[in-house]
Amino acid sequence: MTWHVIMTKPQKESYAVEKLTEQGFAVYYPQRPHEKMVRHKRVVKHLSLFPRYLFIYHDDIFLAQQHTIRSTPGVAQLIQNGGIATPVHDQIISAIKSLEQLNQDKVEKLYTRNDQVIINNGIYKDMEAIFVREDSEERAVLLIQILHNDAYLTIAKNDFKKI
């Protein structure tokens, strides 16, 4: 069998998956783990591997209710070529699922070595720095330049952000 591609409205992938599933469609929404700061705490969220795109399975429900897909909340359009839904073969979906499984434990870190950051609290407020490494769950080591000398500073992770 094959799958088809759906384009969602901006940041409505999860909502579209929910509504399509409620209607009986088989939907695949590939995601990747990503670290974010939420209320001054690091949390792992799952972000779309292909922002604004989902895959829907080509089955009897798809054939009978293809016209309802476009009117589903969160869905922008069914990707078509010449008025025919563009197919994506099972092998491609299987490969994406395999890669998603392999990388499920690999969380994309919020900060990586040499990221440019700006300090937003304390005596170094509004000073630019370079992220060096994590020091603990809550703190990080930054490289700053003071009086033309490099200095290392250990600071809480919620006291700086990427530029």
Q: Please answer whether residues 63 and 56 qualify as being in contact, where contact means their C-beta atoms are separated by less than 8 angstroms.
A: no
Q: Which of 131, 136, 141, 135 is nearest to 110 (CA)?
A: 131
- Would you state the pLDDT for residue 18? 96
φ, ψ (nearest 5 deg) of residue 127: -90, 135
Ordered by where they begin, the domains of the chain are 2-102 (3.30.70.940), 116-162 (2.30.30.30)
Q: pLDDT tens for residues 16-52?
A: 999 999 999 999 999 988 877 777 677 788 888 899 9
The pTM of this model reads 0.66
Q: Please answer whether residues 160 and 117 qualify as being in contact, where contact means their C-beta atoms are separated by less than 8 angstroms.
A: yes
Q: Which of 126, 159, 125 is nearest to 141 (CA)?
A: 159
Token code pair at residue 28 = 């695949």
**Type of residue numbered 95:** A
